[in-house]
Amino acid sequence: MQVENPSEAAIRDWCTEYLARTLDLPTQTIDTQTTFARLGLDSANSVFLIVELEDRLGLELTPDLLFEYPTICELARHLAERAAR
């Protein structure tokens, strides 16, 4: 389901919930300022996250996006700015 003009907070919350499900962790334990690698996200799960975000936001995203924006907060800020253009 594509979301138009999502806010940074909405993207951050969605990513947090997605990672909690994917990594089988309680949502409240996901620190949005911790790197994806430190949270335990492997390369396969990184690709799945990117694909889900592309579908949700209607944006074309590069596979290296999580290296450029290595935390949920940084990623959410970047994607909200891109979606607003």
Let me know if residue 1 belongs to a domain: no
Q: 2 lies in a domain? A: no
**pLDDT by residue (tens digit) across 6-61?**
899 999 999 999 999 999 999 999 999 999 999 999 999 999 999 999 999 999 99
Domain assignment present for 49 = yes
What CATH number has the domain bearing residue 20? 1.10.1200.10
Q: Give the pLDDT score at 1.
A: 60
Please indicate, yes or no, if residue 19 is contained in any of the structural domains: yes
- Check pLDDT > 80 for residue 4: no
Q: Within 13 A of 76's CA, how many CA atoms are on the CB side?
A: 18
The answer to whether the pTM exceeds 0.75 is: yes
Q: Which domain holds residue 64?
A: 8-84
Structurally, the chain folds into a number of domains equal to 1
Q: pLDDT confidence of 2, banded at 50, 70, 90?
A: low
